[in-house]
Chain A
Amino acid sequence: MSVARFWRKIPQRYNLIGTRCGTCGTYFFPPRSFCPSCRREGKIEEYRFPGKGKVVTHTVIRSASEQFERQTPYVLAIIQLDEGPRFTAQVVAEPGEIQVGTPVRPVFRRISADGESGVIHYGTKFVPVR
Chain B
Amino acid sequence: MRDVAVIGIGCTVFGEHWGSSFRDLFIQAGALALEDAGLSGEQIDAMYVGNMSAGRFIEQEHIGALIADYSGMATRHIPATRVEAACASGGLSFRQAVIAVASGMEDVVVAAGVEKMTDVGTGVSVDTLAGAADREWEGFVGATFPGLYAMIATDYMHRYPLTREQLAQVAVKNHFNGARNPIAQFQQEITVETVIRSSLVADPLRLFDCSPITDGAAAVIVAPLERAREFTDRFVKVRASAQASDTISLHDRADISRLDATVAAGRRALDSAGLSHRDIDLVEVHDCFTIAEICAIEDLGFCRKGDAGRLTEEGITALDGDLPVNTSGGLKACGHPVGATGIKQICEVVQQLRGEAGKRQVPGAEIGMTHNVGGTGATVAVHILEAI
Please report A residues at the B interface, Cβ cutoff 8 Å: 1, 9, 13, 30, 56-69, 71, 74, 76-78, 86-90, 95, 100, 111-112, 121, 123
Q: What's the least CB distance linking A9 to chain B, in Å?
A: 7
Is the pair A66, B136 in contact by a Cβ cutoff of 8 Å? no
Give the distance to chain B from A3, nearest Cβ to Cβ, in Å: 14
- With A60-B202, A100-B154 in contact, is A90–B142 under 8 Å at CB? yes
Query: Known contacts being A63-B126, A88-B138, is A57 close to B155, with CB within 8 Å?
Result: yes
Number of B interface residues at 8 Å Cβ cutoff, please give it. 36
Q: Are A62 and B202 neighbours in the complex by a CB distance under 8 Å? A: yes
Interface membership of chain B positions 340-359, coded 1 if the CB is closer than 8 angstroms to chain A and 0 otherwise: 00000000000000000000
Which residues from A are CB-within-8-Å of B249?
Answer: 30, 87-88
Q: Write out the residue numbers on chain A whose beta carbons fall within 8 Å of the beta carbon of B200.
A: 60, 62
- What are 8 sample pairs from A and B whose C-beta atoms fall under 8 A apart? A59-B154, A59-B202, A59-B203, A61-B143, A78-B151, A78-B250, A88-B249, A90-B141
Q: How far is the CB of B117 from chain A (nearest CB, A)?
A: 14
B residues sitting closer than 8 Å to A (CB atoms) are: 123-124, 126-127, 130, 134-138, 140-144, 146-147, 150-155, 158, 199-205, 249-252, 256
Shortest B375–chain A CB gap in Å is 13
- Which A residues lie within 8 Å of B250 (CB)? 78, 88
Q: Are B251 and A86 in contact (CB under 8 A)?
A: yes
Given contacts A30-B136, A58-B151, A111-B142, contact A65 B256 (CB under 8 A): no
Q: Which residue of chain B lies nearest to A55 when distances are taken between CB atoms in the complex?
A: B154
| Central interface residue in A1, A58, A68, A112, by most chain B CB within 10 Å | A68
A57-B155 Cα distance, complex, nearest whole Å: 5
Q: A76 contacts B251, CB within 8 Å?
A: no
Q: In the complex the two chains form, what is the Cα distance from A75 to B205 in whole Å?
A: 14
- How many Å lie between the Cα of A58 and that of B202 in the bound state? 10
CB within 8 Å for A78 and B251 given contacts A56-B155, A65-B144: yes
Q: Which 3 A-B pairs have the closest CB atoms?
A: A59-B150, A65-B127, A66-B123
A28 to B171, CA, bound (A): 38
Q: Is the CB of A59 within 8 A of B123?
A: no
| A112 and B124 contacting across the interface, CB-CB below 8 Å | no
Can you name the residue of chain B whose Cβ is closest to the Cβ of A99? B158
Q: Is the CB of A65 within 8 A of B123?
A: yes
